[in-house]
Amino acid sequence: MRRGTNLLAVGGFNQSVILDRIRRSPEGLSRVEIAAVTGLSAQTVSNVSRRLLDSGMVREGEKRNVGPGKPRTLLHLDPTGMYAIGVHLDPTVVTYVLLDLSGNVVADHRAPTPTGLPVAGGPPAAATPDEVIAAMAEQVEAILDRSAVPRERVLGVGIAAPGPVDAARGIVLNPPLLEGWMRVPLREALAEATGLPVLLEKDVTAAAVAEIWTTDDRSRLRDNFAFFYYGTGIGMGLALDREVLRGASDNAGDIGHIRVAATGPLCSCGRHGCIGELVVPHYLVDLAITAGLMPAPYEPLGPGAIDSLFSTLAGAAAAGSPAAIAILEDTARHIAGAVVTITNLLDIDQVVFGGPFWRRIAALALPVIAELVNGDPALISPHPIHLSDSTIGEDVAAIGAGCLVLDHTLSPRPSTLLISE
C-alpha cells in the first residue's frame, strides 16, 4: 500500500473483487453469477461491470442459460485491455517485460546495465544513475512501440531494484553492487522520464511476487515459500500464506551475512564464512581460476567477464571436471546451510531457486541442496522441505515487478475491508 497505490488505483474494492472473479473464470461469468458469488447487489455489479467494459479490461462474450429467465451475457477478462511493464535493474543487466492483463509476457528485452567511461587498467566505470534511468525510459518507450500497445492502455511500470530501498519514498538507498547509487529517487525519476506511474520493489520480493502470480497450482508452489535469488548478489524473497513479506521498511530478504562456514573470504562485516561471499558468481569464478580451470585474467573482472567465465565453470562441471564439480558442491552445501537456518526460523516448506545465474548450475546444485537440507540434523521442521527450480526463468524479477502493477489493479485486499478507524 506504500508503494504508490494511489497512482495506480483504478477502482475501489468492489471493482477489484469483480475483476478478480472474472479473471479466475476463463469460461466467463454472468452478472447474476457475480452477484451471487460476491454478495454484491445487482445494481453494484451492473455499475462496476459497465465501468470495466468501458475501460476495456472486460469484454462481453456469448450468452448462456443460467437458471430461469432470459440467457445471460458472459463477461470475460480481456487480456489486451490493459498492460503493465516490469523492469529489473541488476548490476549486470536490465530486463524489460510487457505483461498483458492476464500476466502473460507479450514482449521482453534485455540490455547490459549502462556503463560509463572505462577506467585505466580496470573494468568500465559504472554509469551514473541519471544515465541508467534515461536508458530505461528509452527502452520502455521502445518496447511499447514494438508491441504497438498504446500508452493509455499501460497501467504503470514496476521496477525491481537491489536493496536496501526506501520503498515508501521510492528511493534506492545504497546497494553494495550498484556503484554510485546513493539515495537515488528512482521511482519519481522513472515516472518523470516515462510519464507513467511507477512502483518500486526490492528485487527478491518482486521475484516472490512473480512466483505467486504465475503459479496457482498448490502442489507446485506452497503457500509458504522462500525464493532463493541467485544473481550478481544473492537474496531471499519470502512468501507467507501467499503474501510476500516486506518487513518494516520493505527490505526483508537480506541473507548475505548468514554464516554457513567457519572459514571463507573476509566479508565486509569483518567475519569469515558469510554466505554472501561464499556462493556469489564472482567468488566461484575466482575459485575456478585458482583451481586452474581457466586462465587468470590480465585485468580485474568486469560483470560481462564474470558472466562468461561463470558459464565456463558451469560447463566444465557438466562435462565432469572434478575440480569444477567440487566448487559447485561446496556452493550447494553453503546454500543448504542458509536454507536450513531460514526454514527453521520461518517454518516454510518450500524454497524456489532462480535468478540470472541459477539455471546454469541448477542441474548439479539442486539435488545436492535437497539432499543436504532434508538430511541435516539441524533441520527442525517436522515436514520435508520441497526444493524446486523457478519455472519462470531469468526474467523472474522483471515479471514480478510487472505483476505488482497488475496486482494493484486486480487483487482485492482484505486490508481494505477492515472496519475503518
User: Which residues would be at the binding site for its own copies (CB under 8 A)?
Assistant: 17, 37-39, 163-164, 166, 173, 222-224, 236, 238, 240, 245-260, 262-263, 267-274, 337, 340-342, 344-349, 376-378, 380-383, 412, 414-415, 417-419
d(CA 387, CA 328): 17
**Which residue number, 269 or 326, has a Cβ lying nearer to its own copies?**
269
Q: How far is the CB of 14 from its own copies (least distance, A)?
A: 10
What span, in angstroms and rounded, lies between the C-alpha atoms of 101 and 82?
5
Nearer to its own copies, 311 or 344 (CB): 344
How many other β-carbons are positioned within 10 Å of the β-carbon of residue 130? 11
Considering the complex, what minimum distance in angstroms separates the CB of residue 249 from its own copies?
6
Min separation Cβ 218 and its own copies, Å: 12
Q: Which is nearer to its own copies, 73 or 344 (CB)?
A: 344
Q: Where are the alpha helices (DSSP H) in 319-357?
A: 322-346
Query: What's the min distance (Å) between Cβ of 238 and its own copies?
Result: 8
- Report the distance separating Cα 228 and Cα 341, nearest Å: 13
Nearer to its own copies by Cβ, of 80 and 344: the residue is: 344
* Least CB distance to its own copies at residue 347 (A): 2
**Cα distances (angstroms) measured from residue 46 to each of 29, 41, 73, 242, 313:** 13, 9, 12, 31, 60
Burial class (CB within 10 angstroms; exposed 0-12, middle 13-18, buried 19+) of 70: exposed
- Smallest distance, Å, CB 334 to its own copies? 12
CA-to-CA distance for 26 and 76, rounded, in angstroms? 7
- Whether residue 164 is preceded by a cis peptide bond, meaning omega within 30 degrees of 0, is yes
User: What type of residue is 74?
Assistant: L
Task: Return the number of the residue (163 or 355) whose C-beta is nearest its own copies.
Answer: 163
Nearer CB in complex with its own copies: 192/347: 347
Residue 194 Cα to chain centre, angstroms: 21
Please identify, using beta-carbon distances, which residue of 102 and 251 lies nearer to its own copies.
251
* Closer to its own copies by Cβ: residue 331 or 350: 350
Shortest distance in whole angstroms from residue 155 CB to its own copies:
23
Residue of 405, 413, 399 lying closest to 208 (CA atoms)? 399
Query: Least Å distance between CB 224 and its own copies?
Result: 4
Q: Nine-digit cell at 350?
A: 518450500
**360 neighbors 322 (Cβ within 8 angstroms):** no
- Residue 419: φ, ψ to 5°: -60, 130
